[in-house]
Chains A and B, each alone.
Chain A
Amino acid sequence: MLRDITIGQHFPGNSVLHRCDPRLKLVGTIAYIIVLFVASNPLGIALSLALLALLYAVAKIPYRLILKSLKPIVPIIIFTAVLNLFFITGDGEPLVRLWVFSIYKEGVSYAILMAVRVVALIAGTSLLTYTTSPIVLTDAIESLLRPLQKLHFPVHELAMMMTIALRFIPTLIEETEKIMNAQKARGAKLDNGKFTERIRALIPILIPLFISAFRRADELAMAMECRCYRGGEGRTRLKVLRFGKLDVQCALALAVLLGIILSTTLLF
């Protein structure tokens, strides 16, 4: 069903990774992605994958979830791999010649490298969302971006927008389902017909949806005012992010491991 789709699926748990400061996880994920692209030698990639496998094991997230998160981007991975395969030329003799295309050794290794990298990238970011609830992640982003507030960047507003979006996505999905059913009951043809017909068939769904979204926004604004909302100034939080002992240990461990992976570039 539509409403089962949630952004950044959270996989609740109580592992070290779950309990870690979300800011560390966010920064760590970015660092991991950078390492993935800098240490692009076979050993570096292999170690990166090993680190990822280790982290999934620590977080007790089943590996099959990786496959699930990869599913939507499989066509992209295959497409880029095929492109790399055919369009990268090497110095030596081509391995295979197909009509006007030639496949070189470099092409094969680069195609594999890219595919593995993309898989690791997706699996790495998925690990972040699996172990961190969206709301905590929003807090982390707000906290990390806070220095930009001095430059008049609307950090709090951005975080509030993300929170409200996360809150209302399931509501609006449910509403879309209801409206679709209501129009189907009035004989709307939603799933077949020519392209232009299908676009036209969307109007009876989109208009009520927009009107309802505006009405909700209006009412929400009033309810927020009634609860004394006046922007980010002077705001406190129920849950304060604290960088504790555990986080220091995790940060050090991660830094060491990423450092080892980076050092492989010296070997190649």
Chain B
Amino acid sequence: MSEIIRCEHLRYVYNAGLPDETAALDDVSFSIEEGDFIGIIGSTGSGKSTLISHFNGLNRPTSGKIYVDGRDMWAEGEDLRSFRFLVGLVFQYPEYQLFEETCAQDIAYGPRNMGLSEEEIQRRVKEAAEFTGLSEDLLQRSPFELSGGQKRRVAIAGVMAMEPRILVLDEPAAGLDPEGRDTILAQIKAYHKKTGVTVVLVSHSMEDIAKYADKVLVMHKAGVAMYDTVENIFARAPELLELGLSVPQVTQIFLRLKEMGLDIKTDVYTMPYAVKTVLKAYNARHPEKPLPIPAEKGGEDHAS
């Protein structure tokens, strides 16, 4: 695997030179491997939104470097727009950017800006619509007639259709009901699996991060607090709580058990693994009649 994004000592300062000068990013260094599914978590004001707007050059770092696909984004002679085609950015509440007469035309806006042939544009619109579950009939309708969840999928399709190497989504499920949230996140996961495109998912929800991401970047006070695999991050659940973040309810249960004095693992963050952990602990204490432990379900579990 190769590196797709690399940040070196990234620093970004708001209101430079004024009394209320604040660093939104301070000495941020990390890199993302191509093909990863990264979750970024952190409370509001931790710098996560500022960070992702650096990924495609909407903000210029005050100091430090950012490389995308090995190219220094702010080097002399680099075409900034070409980075916007490499890194697809989906903002919070992206449905507010829709403007075309039909959904198909709106999805085609990005590819058209790239100067692609009409044939290629149509192919991409069709493919992106499939990834986001938009029917042919829906594509010919005005985006303003659709429901909130549908509009949001049109907006995400509009960025997918640019076929970026990295897809960055800022809270793609914000404000949606559980069904809308699960649909969109599952579609993004399926898109990641099928295309192998690197995905960066910014979220406030530990449950969603636990369910979809492979690696987690925890932002805190303008810097990177943790960056590791999901398992390793959740093994440090007490530290997450100290940073003012929540942990999934299942993790809370095991932390509480440990606190009550039970000798039990606390790196539990998925339901199947939780069931297995409890059953194993139960069997260890009741060896006379052990309960059968359910077989591993593919992909949902993780080795400990």
Contacts and interface: CB of A to CB of B under 8 A. Distances in A.
Interface of A: 175, 178-179, 181-189, 203-204, 207-208, 211-212
Nearest to A4: B15
B97 interface: yes
Contact of B159 (A178, A186, A204, A212): A186
A-B pairs with lowest CB-CB distance, top 10: A187-B113, A207-B99, A182-B97, A186-B110, A185-B89, A204-B99, A182-B91, A208-B99, A181-B58, A208-B97
Interface string B92-104: 0010111100000
Interface in B214-260: none
Interface residues of B, number: 22
B89 A189 contact: no
B96 A178 contact: yes
A179 to B, nearest CB: 6
A211 B151 CA distance: 14
A184 B58 contact: yes
A208 B114 contact: no
B144 A179 contact: no
Contacts of A204: 97, 99, 109
A203 B99 contact: yes
A191 to B, nearest CB: 11
Contact of B113 (A182, A188, A208): A188
A186 B144 contact: no
A185 B56 CA distance: 7
Given A184-B58, A186-B109, A186-B158, A208 B98 contact: yes
A157 to B, nearest CB: 29
A187 B94 contact: no
In this complex, the member of A178, A182, A211 whose beta carbon has the largest number of chain B beta carbons within 10 angstroms is A182
Contact of B97 (A183, A187, A189): A183
Given A178-B91, A181-B53, A181-B91, A187 B96 contact: no
A185 B99 contact: no
Contacts of A188: 113
Interface stretch (B26-34, B80-88, B192-200, B203-211): B80-88
